[in-house]
Structure 1
Amino acid sequence: MWRNYLSAALRNLSRNRLYAAINIVGLAIGLAAGIFAGLYVREELSYERFIPGHESIYRVSMTRQVPGAPAAAFSTAYHRVSEWLESDFPEIQASSRLWIVRTAVRHGEFEAQQSVGFADRDFFRVFALPAIAGDLATALSTPDGIVLTRQAARKYFGEDMPIGKTLELDRSAVMRVTAVIEDLPSNTHLNFTVIASNARLLQELQPLPEFNVRKFEAHTYFSLDPATSLQSLRERMTGLIDRHQKFPPGIQLQVDVLPIDDIHLKSSAQFPLEPPGDLKTVYAIAAVGILIVLIAGINFVNLMTSRASQRAVEVGVRKAAGASRRDLVLQFIGESLIHVTIAMLVAVAAVELLMPYFNALLDRSLSGDPTATIQFEYWRDPMLALALVAAVLIIGLAAGFYPAMVLSAFRPIDTLKTGIVRSAGSFTVRQLLVVLQFGVLVLLILATAVIHRQTQFALNEGLRIDRNQVLLVSFRDARTRQGFQEALREVAGVEAVTSSHTAPTNRGTIQLTAERAGGSPAALQFTPVDFNFHEFYGLQPLAGRLFSRERGTDAVPANATSAVASGDGAAQLALIVNEATVRTLGFATPDAAVGQILKIKEWSPDLQYSIVGVIPDFPVDSIRVAVQPTVYFVDQNRLSMISARLNGRAIPETLTQINRLWQRIGEPRPIESQFLDEYYGLLYTDVRQQARLFNGFTVIALIIASLGLFGLSVFSAQQRTKEVGIRKAMGAGTQEIMRLLLWQFLRPVLIAIVLALPLGAWLMQRWLSGFAQRASIEAWLLIAAGAVVVLIGALTVAAHVILVARWRPAAALRYE
């Protein structure tokens, strides 16, 4: 019996090659998309799961609340929180701080700039990472201890176990390799390949004021006794900072903890080690993958039920020969499983071939590191292999059940008498399935358009600064910077130069407490800049003026070590603020802020700080975060970043000249430069990846839906051939027939548009609500999405509709 069923299934596939091809190709494309979506979702949900004991590891975060401003959450904590946690809570087994610093690393003649982690001696007690060589328990116990990943060991030493050999950090600290660990996979927020003892770094921090921003940049982790209640710990941590340290009045600091498993997808805190993901987007990608497989399944159901009448005689004969309905249901579900199995084999082959392109789509293959790519190794991953087999069974059974019930329900007497049976209700079901199919397509097209629009907004008009061809060069020594900056102005290809502390990003700004006359203290971000900083970035004042070299009070005096000291003959210091500062300090308008005097607690009380201008808000970090109240002042002693605008012509030659200039008069370390476009591109890596994924999935959904509609149009046109002949014989013209057939096929598409557009607009509005600055969803965008779907539907069936409408009546009437 089973051999007979298999023979009938293969014979049916061979006899109906067009429909079999549409079914298998559509299913294969849908399954491949589902596999890609599943791999992406699994990767996003698996962050930190490779770390032994990850369930008991937590990160300390800090929330700062100041009067007149919303609470700000940071992924870092005050540097002494680690020791307070260990002293106050015995259930904390180990804790460690982590600083990530960009510095030069040298071995022999080879030197490179890279991110280096500086951590406490107990770091590897918290993170029990696998060691290749050395003892991680004592690896960071000495001030010169340094641990490398396998990749870093090969990079600097050309071997896997360089234990005892030395590296030089920042051309000043000689470090001894004490251990080597395995390369960290891509699904972690720990973005280092070199981690060193923080003893020297702590010595540098000692002379800094207690309320200095650098001391807030420690990422703090601890491992907790698994028997401890996290909720109880959180309650007892309330007021931890206030119990140990007093900060300026009006500033409230609270600490909280977050499981490391949740850092990637459930943290919106500022200054993360890695750009976070978005849990809503992960769910959306999972839903899209399921919907695309659903679309492919809908095609299968539609084509199987639409061709039910073609197999009516076969069903009648089998029933007359004694086959029960159960036997027929098993036969047709078996055929469905054969279709899905073939489609899955094709899909798996396609995924294997396309994996390099998929990783490139997600920027995972740029480093050339295999640990950074998503793998599709089902032969090594039993769970993945089991998932593929389960998908075949579930999809095969689900997609084959309804067609099997329809086909097995035919009565032998009807099928053997006429050979043709019209399946009651099947046409309505097919119409509903087409509505669902194109409704999903509408949602995907709208989502793709909105995500693309938001991406362009984030990288262009949302920035509100002129970032075109801006090269950033980092410095350590202010005197060297000044000489390099002056020489840089003479380089051919360089149009303009300015400098600042962290231009124009928010990393490393100074957090100070300011107060206007009659107002409350407020925590503001203070950023040192050069005189022409705002002109360089195309920022015009909303009120007041910009800095000027001709005004003696527009800069910290040259003989002052910083803005804390006033220097001789200085009566005041000019400040430029953004709109967020105006709101935070309680000024009604930008004009009302100009000329006002601020008191800054941490700086000299003898020096007046006067607001001379107000500039527009512009995001210096991700547009997911509200623009922070920022104050700009001129202090040549604090500038460590040069911004050079290139003219865009002969850029490689210009960069070569800049490198030569660096070697001649720059610092001895390798030049550290980056285009501003690259920085903002990294900020929105996740948004750009989402845009690419939705672009790809939309194209796939479009292909599958078009294949299904084409298959239905071919079969439906064949079914209505006689009707077309009669209509033409009665005088109907070609255009009238075309309108009739097009309306039949486009009606469910139009219904799908009407139903899906409001839902899509609501869903994308919710997605956009995750951004502090965002583009709007305008009416034309909805209309365009609907028009694209109508056009796709019309083009899919147009060729066949035209062919049928032009048949001669005699040929059409002879068809049946």
Structure 2
Amino acid sequence: MLRSILSSTRGQLARGRLYAVVTLAGLALALAAAIVTGLFVRQQHAYENFIPGYERIFRMTGTVAQPGQPERVSAVTPSILARALAARSDRIETIARIYQDNPVVRARADAPPIRAQGFVWADPAIFEVLPLASVSGQLAGALAQPDTVAVSQSSARRLFGGAPPRGAAIEIVGADGAVRRLRVTAVFADLPARTHLDLQFVASGLGAASPLARADASPVPTINLPILTYVRGKPGTRAADLQPALDDVIRPFQAMAAASGTKVGGYALPIADIHFGPPDDSPHGKPSVDPAVVMAIGAVGALILLMASTSYVALMTARAGRRGVEVAVRKACGAGQGQLIAQFLGESLLVTLVALILGMAIVELVLPAVNGLLGLSLAFDLTREPGLLLPLLAVWLVIGVASGLYPAFILSSLRPMAALGGGATGLSAPAWIGRTMVIVQFATLTGLLVAAITVYRQTDFAIDRALGAGRGPVLTVATQCRSGLAQAVRELPGVRRASCSAAGAFNLAPHGAVTAINREGQRFTPGFVEVDPYFFALAGLDPLAGRTFAPSRDSDVRRGEVIINQTAARHFGFASPQAAIGQPLGISLQVGPNPPTTPYTVIGVVRDASASVLEPAGELIYSAARPEWGVLAVETSPAALSDVRARLGWLWEAMGDSGPLEARLLSQIEADRYRTTIVQGRVIAACALVALVIAAMGLFALSAFSADRRRKEIGIRRAMGASPGEIVRLLLWQFLLPVLVACAVGLGAGYAVMRHWLEQFVARTDLPVWLLAGVAGATVLVAILVSSAQIRAAARGHIVDALRYE
């Protein structure tokens, strides 16, 4: 029986090479797209599961809601939280803190220094809370002594090459040139991509110079240091079990904040939920992902598979109607209906299996490129994860059986005399099957095109809004804003503007907070950032009223003059930006119920510059001062970018900076900020391209088959005087009608979905009519180009060839 199925399948493919290539290629491509999107969804839902006992590990998370502002979420916690929680809860097994840092390190005095990304100071119990895999040494107790550090495998290789890292030392080079040595006690395996953690260097927080030790020694609890608190609960612990102790700890902070109308809170967030949790404003945090978007990408992959399966089933069903004589001959030779059912189902399953194997091969070929394009680490290895084979087999069986149902159960019941006697068998595939295939495919294609273009336009809009209209490339360097640094940079050839201001001014870090009193006596907590006089010109923030700080006016600093944004002007109670000029403000640089205030005077009001398009701009006050640590921003032109970068490096060395120059383009930082949205757009765009190819191939095969099936009709029309052009227009309209219906369905669905998607953005682009019309026009044009070739060939064929009986 198997030999018969193989022989019959080979014969069917050989007799219809065009259909075989088109249907197999389309189905294989769709299967590959479905596998890749399935791997993506699977990875997104597998965050943190490599950590033993991850189900009972929690990160403490705080919330702040100021009057009239949306709630902000932050993973930054007070330094005393860990000790207070441990004393109040019996559900905690271990608790530890980490302090995020990025110092300059080197392996020895003569080695080049590097900026250590993923460097944290941690309590010794950190590897009990987060039990990572050890490569060398014991992680338990690795940080029990001061001035010790555990490093990741890749960082050890980067610093020490092939030399054994255990027992060696790394040096931390301070901004003042001071050197501190840390002894390497253990090496841990590199963390996979499916984690929110960025751990390359984990240093002991016990040393006197450690930020954690300094915070513990401070008589005032610190609340603005980048300290994260992790808890490992006892078996069976849930987040709700830790909430009473957490509420007890934060109650004093709630009382302090209530005086200014601010509401603060906190909760224990399971680390498995961080990836899909709310975005937080803590430094060095990876952006969170909307779970609905992940599911939408999975749904897109399923749609791709659905449209290809529909095309495959429709074409196989349509071609099966031509096998009536074959079925009649087989039955006349003694074949039973059960044998024919097994024959047809076997052929269908075999062809579908070939498409599945081709799809898996495509995945192996394109997966490295997909990972590089999207910044992912997807893997497709059936030997290591045999569980992936089960869904693939299920898809194979469903598609294979569906495509073989018609010939198996309808054709196998054909009476031999009906086909061999020359009469009509009545077994031709219904015409609605082909039309349904076209509608499903092109509706999916149209909807995906609308989605891909909208995501691209919103991402482009977000980055342009952040960079400012007309601004050239801007290089940013985290550094001390020393006297003369920005002026020396401004004198470099090719530099348009340069400013050294607080990182919060460029939306690269959370703003500092102060307590302010509005004209009605109400307290609120606006942001407060220090900027130099050149910041506003570089940022494109022209004053709406008043003026900005002037380089030649030291009085801006001495007299306590400030500039506020539009939102701050409204919250202070000013009727207009002009009304705020010259008015005094009561501001305290402390946050509390009754802090002492310092008088400030408003000299200018500028427009709002929100941190992102996802949230509205808050109240912000700009102070004329040089921050101790900030961001040097250098604007240049595209042509001079490489030269300015090189000259900036020479100046950096000449001024004696201890670490290497690490200049990043502001556009790249903004792209990283919207990396999740960019990945979404690229995935949807790739799926739209696959959908375009599948739809084109399906329509091409269907038009070729339909033209061949209607060859006698075309011959009769030609014999009756119809011109080839008239026949082309007639047949083309019959193909375009379902395409037009599909465009209407796809545009409506795409518009509704993307309009809902855009609502998450405070500042967003629109969905113009020209976009929808352009997508519809492009879809119809593709349909015309694909189907017209086969129709023209059939319409211009010889009449004799079309009308001959044999």
Mark yes or no: TM-score above 0.5: yes
Does residue 252 of structure 1 match 2:252?
A: no
Distance 1:213 1:234, change over 3 A: closer
CA contact (8 A) 2:501 2:627 kept: no
Match runs of 1:217-228 below 5 Å: 217-228=226-237
CA contact (8 A) 2:517 2:524 kept: yes
Structure 1 position 669, deviation (Å): 2.1
Distance 1:486 1:330, change over 3 A: same
For residue 365 of structure 2, give the secondary structure of its aligned residue in structure 1.
Answer: helix
Match runs of 1:310-325 below 5 Å: 310-325=322-337
For residue 550 of structure 2, give the secondary structure of its aligned residue in structure 1.
Answer: coil
2:583 and 2:415 mapped to 1: Cα distance?
A: 92
For residue 668 of structure 1, give the secondary structure of its aligned residue in structure 2.
Answer: coil
Match runs of 1:497-576 below 5 Å: 497-502=498-503, 503-555=505-557, 557=558, 570=559, 573-576=560-563
CA contact (8 A) 2:318 2:428 kept: no
Distance 1:631 1:114, change over 3 A: same
Structure 1 position 375, deviation (Å): 2.1
Does residue 433 of structure 1 match 2:437?
A: yes
RMSD (CA atoms): 2.4
Structure 1 position 195, deviation (Å): 1.3
1:208 and 1:627 mapped to 2: Cα distance?
A: 33
Amino acid of the structure 2 residue aligned with 1:303: L
- Look up the match of 1:348: 360
Residues 540-573 of structure 1 deviation map (CA, whole Å, 9 limit, x = unaligned): 1223322223444422x4xxxxxxxxxxxx4xx2
Match runs of 1:161-200 below 5 Å: 161-171=164-174, 172-199=179-206, 200=210
CA contact (8 A) 1:212 1:511 kept: no
- Look up the match of 1:701: 691
Match runs of 1:343-422 below 5 Å: 343-364=355-376, 373-402=377-406, 404-418=408-422, 421-422=425-426
CA contact (8 A) 1:96 1:126 kept: yes
Larger displacement relative to structure 2 (797-806 or 271-280): 271-280
For residue 265 of structure 1, give the secondary structure of its aligned residue in structure 2.
Answer: coil
CA contact (8 A) 1:98 1:117 kept: yes
- The unaligned stretches of length 5 or more in structure 1 are 365-372, 558-569
Distance 1:353 1:294, change over 3 A: same
CA contact (8 A) 2:356 2:396 kept: yes
Residues 51-109 of structure 1 deviation map (CA, whole Å, 9 limit, x = unaligned): 11011111111111222322222232233222222111110111222222121011111
CA contact (8 A) 1:446 1:785 kept: yes
Structure 1 position 517, deviation (Å): 2.5
Distance 1:374 1:211, change over 3 A: same
Structure 1 position 592, deviation (Å): 3.7
For residue 179 of structure 1, give the secondary structure of its aligned residue in structure 2.
Answer: strand
2:488 and 2:350 mapped to 1: Cα distance?
A: 72
CA contact (8 A) 1:378 1:384 kept: yes
For residue 192 of structure 1, give the secondary structure of its aligned residue in structure 2.
Answer: coil
Distance 1:398 1:809, change over 3 A: closer
2:220 and 2:66 mapped to 1: Cα distance?
A: 18
- Look up the match of 1:202: 212
Structure 2 residue corresponding to 1:771, chosen from 737, 754, 761:
761
Distance 1:416 1:208, change over 3 A: farther
Structure 1 position 269, deviation (Å): 2.7
1:121 and 1:277 mapped to 2: Cα distance?
A: 31
Structure 1 residue corresponding to 2:250, chosen from 220, 238, 241:
241
Structure 1 position 203, deviation (Å): 4.2
Does residue 2 of structure 1 match 2:2?
A: yes
Distance 1:728 1:192, change over 3 A: same
Distance 1:122 1:722, change over 3 A: same
Q: TM-score under structure 2 normalisation?
A: 0.93
2:317 and 2:195 mapped to 1: Cα distance?
A: 48
CA contact (8 A) 2:254 2:265 kept: no
1:240 and 1:163 mapped to 2: Cα distance?
A: 40
Structure 2 residue corresponding to 1:459, chosen from 463, 467, 471:
463
Structure 1 position 633, deviation (Å): 1.0
Aligned residues: 788
- Look up the match of 1:626: 616
Distance 1:127 1:697, change over 3 A: same
CA contact (8 A) 1:341 1:392 kept: yes
- Look up the match of 2:778: 788
Match runs of 1:326-337 below 5 Å: 326-337=338-349
For residue 181 of structure 2, give the secondary structure of its aligned residue in structure 1.
Answer: strand
- Look up the match of 2:626: 636
Structure 1 position 486, deviation (Å): 2.3
Structure 1 residue corresponding to 2:320, chosen from 285, 308, 311:
308
2:217 and 2:524 mapped to 1: Cα distance?
A: 25
1:426 and 1:409 mapped to 2: Cα distance?
A: 17
CA contact (8 A) 1:617 1:627 kept: yes
1:33 and 1:396 mapped to 2: Cα distance?
A: 18
Structure 1 position 742, deviation (Å): 0.8
Larger displacement relative to structure 2 (432-441 or 422-431): 422-431
Residues 702-753 of structure 1 deviation map (CA, whole Å, 9 limit, x = unaligned): 1111111111101111122222222233332333212211111111111111
Q: TM-score under structure 1 normalisation?
A: 0.92
Larger displacement relative to structure 2 (488-497 or 182-191): 488-497
- Look up the match of 2:802: 812
1:290 and 1:552 mapped to 2: Cα distance?
A: 64
- The unaligned stretches of length 5 or more in structure 2 are none
Distance 1:79 1:778, change over 3 A: farther
2:463 and 2:402 mapped to 1: Cα distance?
A: 44
CA contact (8 A) 2:315 2:702 kept: yes
CA contact (8 A) 1:312 1:419 kept: no
Does residue 150 of structure 1 match 2:153?
A: yes
Structure 2 residue corresponding to 1:747, chosen from 732, 737, 745:
737
Match runs of 1:641-652 below 5 Å: 641-652=631-642
Distance 1:319 1:210, change over 3 A: farther
Structure 1 position 212, deviation (Å): 6.3
CA contact (8 A) 1:499 1:639 kept: no
For residue 196 of structure 2, give the secondary structure of its aligned residue in structure 1.
Answer: coil
Larger displacement relative to structure 2 (727-736 or 657-666): 727-736
Does residue 616 of structure 1 match 2:627?
A: no
2:216 and 2:578 mapped to 1: Cα distance?
A: 41
Does residue 292 of structure 1 match 2:292?
A: no
- Look up the match of 2:281: 270
1:36 and 1:755 mapped to 2: Cα distance?
A: 26
Match runs of 1:617-696 below 5 Å: 617-620=608-611, 622-638=612-628, 640-696=630-686
Larger displacement relative to structure 2 (514-523 or 184-193): 514-523
1:397 and 1:586 mapped to 2: Cα distance?
A: 71
2:771 and 2:155 mapped to 1: Cα distance?
A: 48
Distance 1:815 1:461, change over 3 A: farther
Residues 311-347 of structure 1 deviation map (CA, whole Å, 9 limit, x = unaligned): 1111222333444444333222211111111112222
Residues 623-656 of structure 1 deviation map (CA, whole Å, 9 limit, x = unaligned): 2233232211111244522111123334333322
Structure 1 position 808, deviation (Å): 4.3
Distance 1:609 1:11, change over 3 A: same
Distance 1:87 1:219, change over 3 A: same
CA contact (8 A) 2:614 2:761 kept: yes
Structure 1 position 402, deviation (Å): 4.4
Distance 1:237 1:619, change over 3 A: same
Does residue 444 of structure 1 match 2:448?
A: yes
Larger displacement relative to structure 2 (73-82 or 733-742): 73-82
- Look up the match of 1:600: 587
